[in-house]
Chain A
Amino acid sequence: MTMNRTIETDSQEAFIEEIEKVQDVLPKRIDANSKNVEKGLAKLVLTLVELIRKLLEKQAMRRIEGGSLSEEEIEGIGETLMKLENKMKELKEIFGLKDEELNLNLGPLGDLM
């Protein structure tokens, strides 16, 4: 190497493992051929539903943290979040999708979630 490069680490294996994980996540695209188009579409839809579910959950937690919710409201939110999560679990099973698959690569913006 001409540039007098330094590459230094005390934990080569650990970094190889993490780099591989990052690269696995990066080029996710929806592969829409006739055989798996249904799964691809389900993946897209479920990804968006999952995003909204997570946003709702986050917002709810912020409100709880802020102390602005009554006991009844917390009860209601709990019901809703529980149902949503269970429904998502079911749908993921039906389409054979794992949690880490429910993501979209937005190019320069990074991953959706």
Chain B
Amino acid sequence: MKVYAYGIINSNPEGIVLPIPFKEGTNSGMDEPLSGLGEASVYNIPYRDIAVIVSELSDEAKEKTDTYILEHERIVERLMESFTVLPMRFLTVFNTKEDLLGMAELYYEDFKDNLARLYNKVEFGMKVIWPADTIKQRIVDVYHKPEGDGLASYSQSHKTKHNVSISTESPAKTFVKEKFQEHIIEKEFQEEANRCIQVVDDYFNRIACEKKLKRLQTESLLLNASYLVDKDRQNEFKQAFEQLKNAPSDLKFLFSGPWPCYNFINLTKKPSSVDYFNTEDMLNRLLAQQGFAQERNSV
């Protein structure tokens, strides 16, 4: 029977297999048994003093796995109420219990480090869209504007900075000239993006313990950030977003959390061909499926 893994927790040192997971630091189980994907009961497979939370995966359940993302999330969140959890990648399936124990043995030290580091922490997601076309157009306008006009100071510093004259006497030189203009515009665009990201990040940086910022995944998606936040500072973090939202800007925001710490599991051991924690698109999938649906309900 294949086993489906949800996450890793600290367990009891005796490493006794129970039908239901232990509560952290106690010998008692969770209040009620959990049922996971395909209604299979959730239990733990211990390795030393950690445990992998799993359920068995029947063949017919496997066919429906795409629709199981919310189930996966539900189990991880239930675990989060009682434990520090390292959420595993959605659809992590082991062919045998031995395979799973092999993984636990290989990454044991890393798992312990991460469990300690992520204790009492949650993740928040912050996505920002900016008006890329407008920004680009603004840069182009400045580039083509004769000196002394409108945005004079910006334009002049801009032009001196890139004061290169290329003649257009041959097709090759015209080509280079066009390429060079594109290059300068792109460069300004990137610099503007950095400035803008800095402004957004300043609201959160002092509150978060760790962050992962992905810039310009598409031209419009200026920032896709994950922040790791101490549970006790969640409200402060949310307030920072309120401030950002109320500040005048032409940015659009998508703020979400708290989530399980999907994006903050660091492995020092080189991942094998299988990547158990590459969960970076998990939030996107959840937002697409659960988040927005939930928002619609609450409106």
Query: Chain A residues in contact with chain B, CB under 8 A?
Result: 1-12, 14-16, 18-23, 25-26, 57-58, 60-61, 64-65, 67, 71, 74-79, 81-82, 107-108
Contact B255 A7 (CB under 8 A): yes
With known contacts A2-B78, A2-B81, A71-B167, A9–B175 Cβ distance under 8 A: no
CB distance from B256 to the nearest CB of A (A): 4
Contact B275 A10 (CB under 8 A): no
Is B221 positioned at the interface, with any CB of A under 8 Å from its CB? yes
Closest 7 CB pairs of A and B: A78-B172, A61-B183, A78-B176, A9-B254, A11-B252, A18-B221, A7-B256
Please count how many residues in chain B sit with their CB below 8 Å of the partner chain's CB atoms.
Answer: 50
CB distance from A58 to the nearest CB of B (A): 8
Contact B284 A19 (CB under 8 A): yes
A107 to B254 Cα, complex, angstroms: 25
A19 to B63 Cα, complex, angstroms: 25
CB distance from A100 to the nearest CB of B (A): 11
Contact B254 A23 (CB under 8 A): no
Q: Jot down 10 A-B pairs with beta carbons below 8 A, ordered by A.
A: A1-B77, A2-B77, A5-B257, A7-B254, A7-B291, A8-B241, A14-B129, A26-B281, A76-B172, A107-B278
The residues of A that contact B284 with a CB separation of less than 8 Å are 19, 22-23
The residues of A that contact B238 with a CB separation of less than 8 Å are 6
A85 to B281 Cα, complex, angstroms: 34
CB distance from B73 to the nearest CB of A (A): 9
Is B162 positioned at the interface, with any CB of A under 8 Å from its CB? yes
The residues of B that contact A16 with a CB separation of less than 8 Å are 288, 292
The residues of B that contact A65 with a CB separation of less than 8 Å are 162, 164, 180, 183-184
A12 to B193 Cα, complex, angstroms: 22
With known contacts A19-B284, A64-B166, A3–B258 Cβ distance under 8 A: yes
With known contacts A11-B252, A14-B129, A3–B80 Cβ distance under 8 A: yes
The residues of A that contact B184 with a CB separation of less than 8 Å are 65
For A6, give its contact among B78, B171, B173, B256 (CB under 8 Å): B256
With known contacts A5-B258, A8-B253, A10-B253, A23–B281 Cβ distance under 8 A: yes
Contact B253 A64 (CB under 8 A): no
The residues of B that contact A107 with a CB separation of less than 8 Å are 275, 278
CB distance from B229 to the nearest CB of A (A): 12
With A14-B220, A61-B179, A65-B180 known, 12 other A-B pairs at CB within 8 A are: A6-B257, A8-B241, A9-B252, A11-B252, A12-B295, A15-B127, A19-B284, A21-B221, A22-B221, A64-B176, A78-B174, A81-B176
With known contacts A3-B77, A64-B166, A74–B287 Cβ distance under 8 A: no
CB distance from B244 to the nearest CB of A (A): 11
Contact B252 A15 (CB under 8 A): yes
